[in-house]
């Protein structure tokens, strides 16, 4: 499986591929469900390799570890998925 860091790097640096609408789905442990956030509501902190900041529709900012990312959609098509046993 392609690591999530590689998928994110391609979205950010491949102009042709990245010229689309992306949504990231991550597991929220508190809510016990997957949360979907548009890529334009995600902030990648320079030098931070383990997490990103997601601004949810209610304005709350959450630090999300990359290992909690479960899905990536490009123009409403699922392009990346991680199965996690037991969740």
**What does the CA dihedral 78, 70, 61, 63 come to, rounded to 10 degrees?**
-140
For residue 19, the 8-state DSSP code is S
E-state strands within 1-87: 22-28, 33-38, 42-43, 51-55, 61-65, 69-74, 77-81
Residue 87: per-residue pLDDT: 59
Intervals of the chain under pLDDT 70: 86-87
Neighbouring-strand partners of residue 14: none
pLDDT, residue 83, reads 86
Confidence at residue 60, expressed as pLDDT on a 0 to 100 scale: 84
Give the pLDDT score at 20. 97
Structural domains in the chain, sorted by start: 4-81 (2.30.30)
pLDDT of residue 63: 92
């Amino acid at each position: 499986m392609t690591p999530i860091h590689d998928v994110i790097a391609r979205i950010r640096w491949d102009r042709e591929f990245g010229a689309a609408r992306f949504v990231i789905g991550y597991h929220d442990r508190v809510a016990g469900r997957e949360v979907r956030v548009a890529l334009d509501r995600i902030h990648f902190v320079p030098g931070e390799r383990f997490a990103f900041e997601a601004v949810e529709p209610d304005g709350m900012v959450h630090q999300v570890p990359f290992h909690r990312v479960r899905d990536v959609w490009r123009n409403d098509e699922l392009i990346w998925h991680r199965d996690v046993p037991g969740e």
